[in-house]
Structure 1
Amino acid sequence: MASVGVAQSRFSLWLVISQPRTSRIPWISLAAALLVALAAALLAPAPAHAAARGAGTVRHGLSQPDYSYADAIREAVWVDTGMDGDGDGRTDRVAADIIRPREPAQAGRKVPVIMDASPYYSCCGRGNESQIKTYDAAGDIVQAPLYYDNYFVPRGYATVLVDLAGTDRSDGCVDVGGPSDIQSAKAVIDWLNGRAKGYSARSGGHTVTAGWTNGDVGMIGKSWDGTIANGVAATGVKGLKTIVPISAISSWYDYYFHQGAALQDGPEWLSDLVESDSAHADCAAEQQKIIDGSPRSGDWTPFWTARDYVKDAGKVRASVFAVQGMQDLNVRTKHFGQWWTALAAHGVERKVWLSQTGHVDPFDYRRDAWVPTLQRWFDHYLLGVDNGIQREPMADIERSVDHWTTDRVWPAPGTKDTSLVLGPTATAGLGTLGTTGHAAPGTTESFTDDPNLWEEDWASSVDTPTPAKTAFTTGVLTKDLRISGGGTVTVTATSTTTSAHLSAVLVDLGPETIRNYLGGGEGITTLGTRSCYGESTAGDSACYLDTAADTENVDHNVFSRGWADLGHYKSLEHGVPLVPGRPYTMTIQLAATDHVVPAGHRLALIVAGTDGGLILPPDTTPTVGIDLAHTVAHLPIVGGAGALHAQPAAARTAHQALRPAAPAPALTPAATLG
């Protein structure tokens, strides 16, 4: 309701201008009356409700919690996807649970939608507390996982939680990022915009329309959920205004392989994990298609093409707010890096947060800043609020634990692709890394693959010659060195057997305190206290367990990595057996990062074989020779070659380990994405 002063001034103006012409007061009196009324309006308190695009209320540039969460409308709709994944002769319907404010509906005002489409609403749960959906006796949602509904429904948004096909209350089959997964969410956006049919029941029922929404949708989600947001955006669907993918896949091939090297077991494991009981019974044929389409050879097949969203970045209409843990060993930063680069090439409006955590939601490592930032993002792109967020610095980066910096654009301004060459030393297996000192032709180093070791073992013994690795280091840096983006390492190698895997890792050598991303919380620890974001009901609390940084003092920090199967040196489409002793050249893609190696530290590049626990070993145990004269690293260095200031390698101090190498993570069975 408008304030009394504004209501009175509006009524006075109405009285003046609504008088019949014959009974109006002289024009001088009319002018005076107008001035008095306008003055009253200007001097009156600000209105309690200022509409933005006809939905939500905005004051001081922010949507306000003026609507009741307890009285919100809770309902379910089943949307026809137009597909028949389970082969039962009728098109599949996916369940969408809706929570929306009652007051705009009563006033005929239309609201935008925040959508999280997920396979995890019944099998595994969402968030740090693994929340699942719960329902009342009528089948309407009681607990909606996470805080989106609690916080945003009172601010004039609807939240829509979609069960992917084959999961929870939806028909169809899970196809792990393929057409069925993507159509599950896209069909709901089409329904919200009047282009698809919705029903009141999973079978039968009456048709339901979404007359309560303006059709503007923002998708959000972590891991598989965020992956669906990427995939739906890549369809170019109308009505999707923005996406917020958190630690999300951009190409499913790169979740299961890295340039031919297998990272974990096949996707059929994931589909089996999340499918509902009814889908298990009906989706055997679809499961077999998944198995047949994703052979463990590492070859790129049509199965992977259908799950590659990067190739369709040019279709993206939505803005993108990407969030990524730079030490995420589940959905690795390669996904973010290649997606970001493709979006930038097509001029997509975008923003990014990069943390030092692993696979962690920003709500659990920077909650007080995340929620208001997300609110402003949605306010701008879904409510049309001109709050300037799109003009603010593009990137927030966690530079050290809980210390964040910003950059106008990302990768950082002044970043240049810089060549670093590898040189030998008097000690076999140890070499130099720099812009000069290229090895003479014929200079080689070698290692023997040991799948029982991994990057932490290599890094903890970087200055000690060991059989399973080669290590190349700069001298002690005299100035900070910042690497911003994704690099490559081009290796010319020979193998003593018919198969070989290569690993390349970048290591910051020197003491520092980091987030313990290898710990159980992947950089956070969960506390016993709670903080509240939004409104609660008896069945859905807005209060969540607090967290704090889990830190570790280290003397080395692996901050970027990449892997490859040497047999795929020519093409990902078809790997070949190696000819022992024959040289092959392959470029290993390093995961995107933003890391500062501080003055007093050293930068190391380790080239080795199987990164145990992160990739599966080849079917032989090769000794691999590296031709140093034909091996080079290309790193995105801020300031280029001139920014690398280091003492001569001979002047460096010996690296003393402060901690033993951490045990390698278990690689199979595959960890869940969530």
Structure 2
Amino acid sequence: MKNTPLVALLCGVLLSAHAWSAPQYIADVDIASFDGTLLDASLFIPESPPPADGYPTVIFTNSWALEKNQYYFQAKELAQNGYLVLSYSTRGFGFSGGLVDVAGDNSIADVGVLINWLEDRYPVGRLGLSGISYGGGISLLSAARYPRVNAVAALSGWADVIEALYPNETVNLVWGSLLVNTAMRKEPVIDQIWGSLRSGQNLPQVLAFAAQRSALSYVDELNRNGTAVLVSNNFADYLFKPNSMTDFYSLLEGPKKLLLNPGTHAVTEVLTGNDGHIWSTSFRWFDHHLKGEDNGMDREPKVDMTVRISNKLERYEDYPVTEKSTTWYLRPRLTLFDSGSLKGSPYWGWGWTNSFNGGWDTFAGTGIPLLSDALEGFGIPVYTPMLAINGYYAIDYESPYQWQTLKIRGAPRLEMWVEPTKAEAQLNIHLYDVGPLGLGRLITHAPVTVHGEPYRAQKIDVELFTTSYDVPFGHWLVLAIDTEGLLYQKPADTNYTVRVPYSNSKSSSLTVPHL
């Protein structure tokens, strides 16, 4: 009992210290943008005195169809570590005014207004931008516009709008429709652009719209600004595929970091998946580039790649992570009930032709749109029974057995001769890992829509979506190709045949990068 006053005193001191270190939270702030549009924001202000050069500061931008409160816990954690943090809802979303313009001039100008608003009221030091999906894309575009931005952490963002919505001239129907239909307050041009893309009309206007909103168009500005750029994308993200982001990353000349993870679009980050690696690395990125902490970030490998299914984290000095690859050549099947083969040397036999037909989907596919992609992040892949792939509507090729683990790292590439019987034909290309039971696990895929004179042979060159996957000992690869997929808009006329010629002069091949 005699110790009670002392204990009470100590507890009071501890509670006071904790209260002193807790950041101030302002839940609702209306900020007038350049055109009078009110942007709804929230603010965390550190209780600790600002450093001599001002608070390290982060602006969070919301994901598509979400709003400022999306990053409450991340913002609070940063503020508890001395950051000034503003989160806001982009125009057209949440309680912000205005109309969604898909990261257009108005949205990028809004970021400049927010920077000025903060600097007019608080001692802002080095400045970072961050966000998931829409927020990641706006962060990259804004960093290119404003040299004041020192660092970016763009998670599930995009580098190329065309690759996102029109990969290999194929309309990304499920994801595009989801985006357009969840923006309730949007500029009329968005519906116009989406309608033009779906109909194949006014494509120059569509391409110009996309280029203005693609980070790949502004690499020179980011390099000139010296912005420290961290980007994170997911292997089963069939909206913002990793391929263009790895291209973008390779062009950056300043400090940079690339995270490649299992899972689908934004889900890995929102659910703090990948064992929290994405957010913890982003925070360390800001600690180094905004707070100046010597935390080793500048000495670590630049690429963190997590292997699908096993979720094993691997680190590499740069991307591409390997220069090694194996090329297999496509050999013909003898009947509709056979598989073609993938061999180590080109086909040199008599001229031969296989064919398969449009008009029907097959078991070759990416699973249930959105759901299967999300489950992939939890180690639940898409399975397909290889024997169920209908040879009338598809064609498949089997590789030799793999007598050691094949560690695929990167984007497989298919070069293939085809002769469609119509001026437009779609191919959905799937690469599977197949085991003794004949069940295939989807490794990666890509669509391509070919245009040209009917019955005329043309060679397609398709980069499948980037992946990291280990094919186990005793398994083999299957390349399966059909003409429809649930994710993509099919041609108006699906009554066509795709012929595959084989000859000395028409050699088709699959190249797979691996360790």
TM-score range, shorter-chain basis?
A: 0.7 to 0.9
**Structure 2: runs of 5 or more not aligned:** 1-17, 368-382
Q: How does 1:115-514 map to 2 (within 5 A)?
A: 115-118=59-62, 120=64, 124-125=65-66, 145-189=71-115, 191-192=117-118, 209-214=120-125, 216-233=126-143, 235-264=144-173, 270=179, 273-275=182-184, 279=185, 283=187, 285-287=188-190, 290-291=193-194, 294=197, 296-297=199-200, 299=203, 301-316=207-222, 317-329=226-238, 331-333=239-241, 336-359=242-265, 360-362=267-269, 363-399=271-307, 401=309, 403-411=311-319, 413-416=321-324, 418-428=326-336, 430-438=339-347, 440=349, 442-453=351-362, 455-456=364-365, 459-461=384-386, 466-510=391-435
2:4 corresponds to: none
2:467 corresponds to: 593
**Partners of 2:72 and 2:507 in 1: CA distance:** 48
**Partners of 1:421 and 1:91 in 2: CA distance:** 61
**Partners of 2:82 and 2:418 in 1: CA distance:** 60
SS of residue in 1 equivalent to 2:157: coil
Give the alignment's Cα RMSD to 1 decimal: 3.3
**Structure 1: runs of 5 or more not aligned:** 1-64, 82-89, 126-131, 134-142, 195-208, 513-553, 568-577, 640-674
Structure 2 CA distance for partners of 1:416 and 1:232, relative to 1, 3 Å: farther
Instruction: Please state how far the C-alpha of 1:604 moved relative to its aligned partner.
Output: 1.8
2:57 corresponds to: 113
SS of residue in 1 equivalent to 2:465: coil
Structure 2 CA distance for partners of 1:183 and 1:269, relative to 1, 3 Å: farther
1:565 corresponds to: 449
Instruction: Please state how far the C-alpha of 1:156 moved relative to its aligned partner.
Output: 0.4
1:603 corresponds to: 477
Matched, 1:618 2:491: yes
Asked if the contact 1:92/1:172 (under 8 Å) is kept, the reply is: yes
**Which is greater in Rg?**
1
Asked if the contact 1:97/1:161 (under 8 Å) is kept, the reply is: yes
Letter in structure 1 aligned against 2:252 = H
Equivalent of 2:43 in 63, 77, 98: 98
More off after superposition, 311-320 vs 453-462: 453-462
TM-score (norm 1): 0.63
**Partners of 2:59 and 2:102 in 1: CA distance:** 19
**Partners of 1:346 and 1:409 in 2: CA distance:** 15
**Partners of 1:101 and 1:511 in 2: CA distance:** 59
SS of residue in 2 equivalent to 1:182: helix
More helix by share: 2
Q: What whole-Å deviation, never above 9, does each CA across 1:227-277 have from its counterpart, x for those lacking one?
A: 2223323x25212222222222222222221121111169686355334xx
**Partners of 2:291 and 2:275 in 1: CA distance:** 22
Instruction: Please state how far the C-alpha of 1:289 moved relative to its aligned partner.
Output: 5.1
**Partners of 2:98 and 2:300 in 1: CA distance:** 43
Structure 2 CA distance for partners of 1:465 and 1:75, relative to 1, 3 Å: closer
**Partners of 2:262 and 2:348 in 1: CA distance:** 35
**Partners of 2:221 and 2:326 in 1: CA distance:** 32
**Partners of 1:66 and 1:371 in 2: CA distance:** 26
Instruction: Please state how far the C-alpha of 1:470 moved relative to its aligned partner.
Output: 0.9
Letter in structure 1 aligned against 2:57 = V
Instruction: Please state how far the C-alpha of 1:404 moved relative to its aligned partner.
Output: 1.7
**Partners of 2:458 and 2:190 in 1: CA distance:** 37
SS of residue in 2 equivalent to 1:97: strand
1:632 corresponds to: 508
SS of residue in 2 equivalent to 1:415: coil
**Partners of 1:150 and 1:408 in 2: CA distance:** 32
SS of residue in 1 equivalent to 2:154: strand
Instruction: Please state how far the C-alpha of 1:302 moved relative to its aligned partner.
Output: 1.7
Residue identity over aligned pairs, in percent, reads 19
1:69 corresponds to: 22
Asked if the contact 2:333/2:354 (under 8 Å) is kept, the reply is: no
Instruction: Please state how far the C-alpha of 1:413 moved relative to its aligned partner.
Output: 4.5
**Partners of 2:169 and 2:70 in 1: CA distance:** 40
Asked if the contact 1:262/1:296 (under 8 Å) is kept, the reply is: no
Asked if the contact 1:267/1:290 (under 8 Å) is kept, the reply is: no
**Partners of 2:177 and 2:407 in 1: CA distance:** 40
Asked if the contact 2:364/2:481 (under 8 Å) is kept, the reply is: no
2:372 corresponds to: none
**Partners of 1:357 and 1:600 in 2: CA distance:** 26
